[in-house]
Chains A and B, each alone.
Chain A
Amino acid sequence: MEKPGLGSVVQDSYQRGVPADALRELLLKAGWPLDMVKEHIDRVYRDVPDGKAFLAARGLVKGFGARPVLDGIDLDVLSGEIFGIIGQSGSGKTTLLGLLVGFLEPDAGDVSIRTSTGLVSVFKSPEVVKRLFGFAAQVPSFYENLTARENVEHFASLYGIPVGKRRTESLLRAFKLEDARDTLARNLSGGMKKRLDIACAMVHNPRVLILDEPTADLDSVIAQEIWDLVVDINKRGTTVILASHFVQEIERVCHRIGILRNRRVVDVGTPDELRVLYTPYHEVVIETGRASYDALVKLLRSRNDLGIQKVERKGRSLMVISGAPEQVLQFVLRSMTDDVLVRLSVQRPSVQDAFESLVKR
């Protein structure tokens, strides 16, 4: 039989911003059965089921002085997803992130989040927002002269979370920082710094993690580690909103992407939806044994019925962008008489291509 008051304890803890993990530990220590704890925490903390809108921006307008930055942004972020915002440099991605968490006051419009008590404007309930959101800005935000462990403990203390060695160690381990726990943050590598930054943002187990350019200045290997970390965080139930100009990377991890252009979110969709939307062409990649394509290129360009948009050499391959990929394939196969075909593939262009296509419009 359920001990009386568990529901109200969980509800109260949720409203006070106590992280689910910390609450779970406390309740288990207090002797509550695991299944009941899990049930209540899941019910209260996961009040917005995955796939339902958790955060909604409507008519957001923001300018700095006479310079308009955002003009009429409408956006929904679904619970449990990784939502990416792409846009050119200076398009207002960071400003939009600041508005979404209520750090910046909009000139017009509102951003609301769904909580257990209903929709709440982020601008009217900053304290609620601060407990629900974690934010990792482009520049890692921690004390360079504190160790990784001290940084985690410090930021945990700001959220009123008891600083326990076990919890700290668990967090450091989750972010692969256990070997650097006593290293001053300034001496960490770029990737470790980013991980520490995200760890600090996750110290209070937020509902939503905001990441602004999480892989900027990182090499591809480290960047991949960070993306893996983001996916892992998301899998553990945290909604992620991120902004980046690395479109190729974003399209690999994001469930949905919003494209910011001309001060507006011009489209929102899954990566595939965006590819289809912005690039009705396909990419035909051809690689031959001799890798000599001059004659083939001439032939392709002489045919108007193949719907060819672009022919471009990429390393040992030849890339053909076409609205009629099947005809292109047939033509290539027929034309290949004196060389060995090593590779032949048809694929959709990347979101990067779609984005570039959009930008060029």
Chain B
Amino acid sequence: MNRTGFLYDDRYQMHRVGNYHPEVPDRLPAVYKGIADAGLLSRLTLIKAQLPDMKWIELVHDKNYIQRFEAACGCGNTIFDSPDNQMCSVTYETALLAVGGILEAVRRVMEGQLDNAFCAIRPPGHHAEVDKAMGFCYFNNIAIAARYIQKEWGIERIGIVDFDVHHGNGTQHIFEEDPSVFYYSIHEHPSFAYPGTGREFEHGKNLGHGFTKNSPVLPGRGDIEYKLLMAKDLFPAFDQFKPEVILVSAGFDAHIDDEMSNIKLSTEGFSWIAEKIMEMAKKYSKGRLISVLEGGYSLRRLPELARNHIQILLER
């Protein structure tokens, strides 16, 4: 059994969105319930939210953007950069707590107190660009974690696996010229789904050429296609790259019962993905893996999906 951390805090529900918005606070209690009902809590190390040192966020985002976000939130704006990004007076604070909590989870893994961790945070991060909020995301959590690991812990090669059903445009753009971070994303084909990037021919730029890999999946293809594409595009790439730490953008919105996509991945399909990522972590990164929640909007399915995910982190 692994020593697995679980980042969870009621304060992540403070960030509120308007009507008819899927990224609701209730997503997190759904995640918690699945894990608690399965009796897993006693086997996990609970990690609480905390505020981060701003210098880590500034490794990824423009200072100007951070100030703009804080100001917009402080003024009582309900929308930031696009109507997709709805917010309330404490959205900025919640976003900071998400980053801080994740960095704490990373620290414990890097210090060897934990083998791996799952971070159930809001708001999500992978659409956030250096200077722009997008697709419900404000700070690019996973990108900040990657930079923090490199700077604070002297790690050279980070591998990111993003299985949210939407392409992580922000993460890709942040690292597309950087050969030290390999970004892999599998998602619904951009001609059918937000945000319209992540095509096969986007494979990094300049020095980073070959260190970005995208597997777009046509609607309805589900488990079989995911298995084929990950075997073809991800496994050989990581075998060559040999990431020293693996970060996961864990979105559960490709599920067949999730209204946000048409991919039709099964619950078992998600377990298969987690198992394969764990295998790679064992093989290349001494088990070091930090998984961070992105999307996943089916309140009915989130309990089982989060439970299976963290159970695989614990037991594989």
B partners with A: no
